[in-house]
Amino acid sequence: GEDHASRRCSTALLHLAPGVQLPILIARFLAPNSYTGEDAAELQVPGNPDLVERLLHLLASYPGVRLAHPGEFTARAYLAGRMTIDQAEGVAATIAATTSEQLAAAASLLEGRTGAHYRRFSDELANLLSLVEAGIDFTDQEDVVAITPGALASRLASLADQIAAHLGAAAGAESAPPIPRVVLAGQPNAGKSTLFNALLRRRRAVASPTPGTTRDVLSEEFDLCSAIPGGPTILLQDLAGLDASATGLIESSAQHAAAAALRSADVILWCDPTGRFNPAALPVTLPPVPTIRVRTFGDQPRAAHTAEDLAVCALDGWNLSVLRRAIADASTTARAGSIAALLPRHRRALSEAGARIAEAAAMIDPSALDGRLDAPELIAGLLRAALDSLGELVGHISPDDILGRVFATFCIGK
């Protein structure tokens, strides 16, 4: 056929059977400028499934020719160093994507943006580990403090929030729950429990004007399909009111449980009867997940709410159908857009890293008067375990790498 050497393309006629000729376009790719890095040829034919199947059968009948195994071309590309394992998984995620959000998440993985996030997590964790280990090595020098407890706690909390945001509902768990978590959050007496019951259409939580009535995290599966055709099943959770002034063992435990539930939320219903939605009024920072601002007690006169807010009344059901629709949309988008929800290996590694970081942070007293960590060896061990988990995604960081970071970021004994 006609040869276009500059484009390495040729037109040809393929003989499928006696008297049956098929016009095709052959694109040649010379190593290493091909998908796999090997010499390759691509046959472009009319897009008829039966025709393609017949052509494959014909080609496989030639001696020395066989059909490729599932994923073989991508595996060859990976083994030839043409792509990273993250990008290879991105190819699989692209094939499996069923929504635009899943396709966007797969594209992020395929283009290396997801891997860049993982490397930032790993770099920050390695830096923190190097500083903790530096403090252990030079503990006999009273004037040397590699990192203060307060600074370490703050940076670990920030890192944990970033991992939780990337992980979504899988944070701190062995695997993500099969359904999205939708969490009701707000200050005490914001009408969360009443709204919780109204959404479920039954009395599940004790609603009371007395602050602190809700202490545990109440969880209930709710099939939104019963209210919204095609809606997903969600895990609806009612939390204790977020209160910075809470004291006592029981109250503090309730606050810790509420904060943990927030970190693992896919969607947050931020309840505020005043309609102010002031982040400074909350003792915790809401994670960067889809958040629906709900002005509870919508039957009571208040200043006009903005377009970003949704006023509801749990007593007479006003706007609850609109809220259920918003929950369904946000839940679908939040879960579909997380690559960690698509790939179990990523979910498991991030979950384990987040859990070890949380354990390490819990051992730190930010207000330590001497500016030193109480149990630096245990903290270092937990951070090393977290780094090993992230290493499954970015490649392991050796002790020599950690030692190098010590002297690159912390100068002792000039």
Mean pLDDT, residues 373-401 taken together: 81
d(CA 353, CA 172): 8
Lowest mean pLDDT among 8-12, 125-129, 236-240, 243-247: 243-247
Mean pLDDT, residues 295-310 taken together: 74
Between the two ends of the chain, the Cα-to-Cα distance in Å is 74
Residue 413's pLDDT is what?
Answer: 40
Token pair 């993250």 is found at 86
Is the pLDDT reported for residue 141 higher than 70? no
pLDDT-derived band at 295 (thresholds 50, 70, 90) equals: very high
d(CA 351, CA 397): 19
Packed helices 344-362 and 376-394: angle between N→C axes, nearest 10 degrees: 170
Is the pLDDT reported for residue 136 higher than 60? yes
- Cβ-contact 270, 186 below 8 angstroms: yes
Query: pLDDT (tens digit, 9 = 90+) per residue, 225-256?
Result: 766 666 778 899 998 888 877 666 677 778 88
Residue 384's pLDDT is what?
Answer: 92
pLDDT-derived band at 215 (thresholds 50, 70, 90) equals: low
Tokens found for residue 265: 């939320």
Mean pLDDT, residues 195-206 taken together: 83
Q: Which amino acid, one-letter code, is at 116?
A: A
Is the pLDDT reported for residue 193 higher than 80? yes
pLDDT-derived band at 117 (thresholds 50, 70, 90) equals: confident
Is the pLDDT reported for residue 7 higher than 60? no
Residue 176's pLDDT is what?
Answer: 41
Lowest mean pLDDT among 161-175, 190-204, 370-384, 389-403: 161-175
Mean per-residue pLDDT over the chain, rounded? 78
Residue 33's pLDDT is what?
Answer: 84
Is the pLDDT reported for residue 326 higher than 60? yes
Residue 125's pLDDT is what?
Answer: 92
Residue 5's pLDDT is what?
Answer: 47
Residue 369's pLDDT is what?
Answer: 64
Residue 243's pLDDT is what?
Answer: 84
Is the pLDDT reported for residue 382 higher than 60? yes
Residue 351's pLDDT is what?
Answer: 85
Is the pLDDT reported for residue 184 higher than 80? yes
Among 386, 408, 407, 413, which residue's Cα sits nearest to residue 397? 386
Highest-pLDDT range among 135-144, 174-183, 194-203, 221-230: 194-203
d(CA 174, CA 170): 8
**3-class DSSP string for the chain:** CCEEHHHCEEEEEEEEECCEEEEEEEEEECCCCCCCCCCEEEEECCCCHHHHHHHHHHHHCCCCCCCCCCCHHHHHHHHCCCCCHHHHHHHHHHHHCCCHHHHHHHHHHHCCHHHHHHHHHHHHHHHHHHHHHHHHHCCCCCCCCCCCHHHHHHHHHHHHHHHHHHHHHHCCCCCCCCCCEEEEECCCCCCHHHHHHHHHCCCCCCCCCCCCCCCCCEEEEEEHHHCCCCCCEEEEEECCCCCCCCCCHHHHHHHHHHHHHHHCCCEEEEECCCCCCCHHHCCCCCCCCCEEEEECCCCCCCCCCCCCEEECECCCCECHHHHHHHHHHHHHHHHHCCHHHHCHHHHHHHHHHHHHHHHHHHCCCCCCCCCCCCCHHHHHHHHHHHHHHHHHHHCCCCHHHHHHHHHHHCCCCC
pLDDT-derived band at 304 (thresholds 50, 70, 90) equals: low
Cβ-Cβ contacts under 8 Å for 24 (sequence gap 6 or more) = 11, 12, 13, 14, 43, 44, 45
Mean pLDDT, residues 152-176 taken together: 69
Token pair 């580990």 is found at 129
Is the pLDDT reported for residue 2 higher than 70? no
